[in-house]
């Protein structure tokens, strides 16, 4: 039943994307614009005849809202769903809740880029007493001992791949069209793995909000070609805006 079909979708604009704040594991919701992006994402799927058979989401509301809105637009609200913290956004450590433009100004472009896009430099850890900490969030009660206080992209990939292998790959191998709704950095990690992108080159890859990214995978689960955005023009503009985020305001 190859090629397998995998659809990756970053959530629509969140309240903190709009405010230009580092978000990570902080559970903010979609803005009205984000909801519109999600609806458009679902319409694009339906127009392309790419109807998901199964959904995987993170435990964060913005990804769950996006999936619900997109699947509603595609009339696929009924499909089975599995959610996992392993699809969560990269934990942004002590940067969670901080303004991106102010952080750029305070620490300079090199440190800012290292924290945002280096492969293996995590931001400083977030204090458990911080209002932006998730240590007492019941949704993570089951991940005992694994709750991060900060993560690099490398650490994200380490916690994401066991879920890819044990939960997503089996669905693909059953011939299901799989939708994964997640986040800028957790999806960068998955794309890096799929496309075999180097630790250096992944720094310049940015994922726009709300636009489905479609992969056809061979039996070896490697892409048969590059991932394709269903709206390439909007995707290019969206990715450029993400890359430029610090400079805003």
Kindly state the number of chain residues that form the binding site for ligand DG2, as judged by CB under 6 A: 14
The CB-of-203 to ligand DG2 minimum distance in angstroms stands at: 11
Check binding of 132 to ligand DG2 (CB under 6 A): no
Q: 207 near 213, Cβ under 8 Å?
A: yes
Structure tokens at 26: 């902080």
Check binding of 205 to ligand DG2 (CB under 6 A): no
Instruction: Using the rule CB under 6 A, give the single segment among 33-41, 47-55, 127-135, 183-191 that binds ligand DG2.
Output: 183-191
Q: Which of 75, 85, 81, 73 is nearest to 55 (CA)?
A: 81
100 vs 26: CA distance, rounded Å: 15
Q: Which of 58, 49, 40, 80 is nearest to 170 (CA)?
A: 80
Q: Figure out which of the listed residues 30, 64, 83, 92 binds ligand DG2, where binding follows CB under 6 A.
A: 92
Residue 43 appears among annotated catalytic residues: no
Q: Which of 125, 9, 119 is nearest to 58 (CA)?
A: 9
83 vs 10: CA distance, rounded Å: 15
Inter-CA distances, 145 with 47, 142, 148, 149, Å = 44, 9, 9, 11
Inter-CA distances, 108 with 84, 243, 246, Å = 35, 16, 10
Instruction: Using the rule CB under 6 A, give the single segment among 122-130, 157-165, 178-186, 232-240 that binds ligand DG2.
Output: 178-186
Check binding of 149 to ligand DG2 (CB under 6 A): no
**According to CB under 6 A, which residues from 210 to 249 bind ligand DG2?**
242, 245
Instruction: Using the rule CB under 6 A, give the single segment among 36-44, 170-178, 179-187, 217-225 that binds ligand DG2.
Output: 179-187
Instruction: Using the rule CB under 6 A, give the single segment among 21-29, 37-45, 140-148, 218-226 that binds ligand DG2.
Output: 21-29
Q: Which one of the listed residues 37, 56, 89, 151 is annotated catalytic?
A: 89
The residue sitting closest to ligand DG2, measured at its beta carbon, is 184
Contacting residues toward ligand DG2, per CB under 6 A: 10, 14, 17, 22-24, 89, 92, 116, 183-185, 242, 245
- Residues annotated as catalytic (active site), given as ranges: 11, 89
């Amino acid at each position: 039943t190859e090629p397998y079909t995998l659809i990756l979708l970053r959530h629509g604009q969140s309240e903190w994307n709009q405010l230009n704040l580092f978000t990570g594991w902080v559970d903010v919701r979609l803005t009205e614009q984000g909801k519109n992006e999600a609806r458009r994402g679902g319409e694009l799927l339906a127009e392309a005849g790419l109807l998901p058979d199964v959904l995987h989401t993170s435990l964060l509301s913005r990804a769950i809202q996006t999936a619900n809105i997109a699947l509603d637009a595609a009339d696929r609200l009924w499909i089975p769903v599995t959610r996992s913290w392993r699809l969560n956004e990269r934990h942004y450590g002590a940067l969670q809740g901080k303004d991106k433009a102010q952080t750029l100004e305070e620490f300079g472009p090199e440190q800012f880029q290292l924290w945002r896009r280096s492969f293996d430099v995590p931001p400083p850890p977030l204090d458990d007493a911080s209002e932006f900490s998730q240590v007492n969030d019941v949704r993570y009660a089951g991940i005992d001992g694994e709750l991060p206080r900060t993560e690099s992209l490398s650490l994200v990939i380490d916690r994401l791949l066991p879920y890819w292998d044990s939960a997503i790959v089996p669905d693909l191998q059953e011939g299901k069209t799989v939708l994964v709704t997640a986040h800028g950095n957790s999806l960068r990690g998955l794309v890096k793995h799929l496309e075999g992108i180097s630790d250096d080159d992944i720094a310049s890859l940015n994922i726009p909000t709300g636009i489905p990214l479609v992969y056809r995978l061979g039996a070896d689960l490697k892409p048969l070609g590059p991932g394709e955005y269903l709206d390439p023009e909007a995707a290019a503009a969206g990715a450029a805006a993400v890359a430029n985020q610090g400079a805003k305001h």
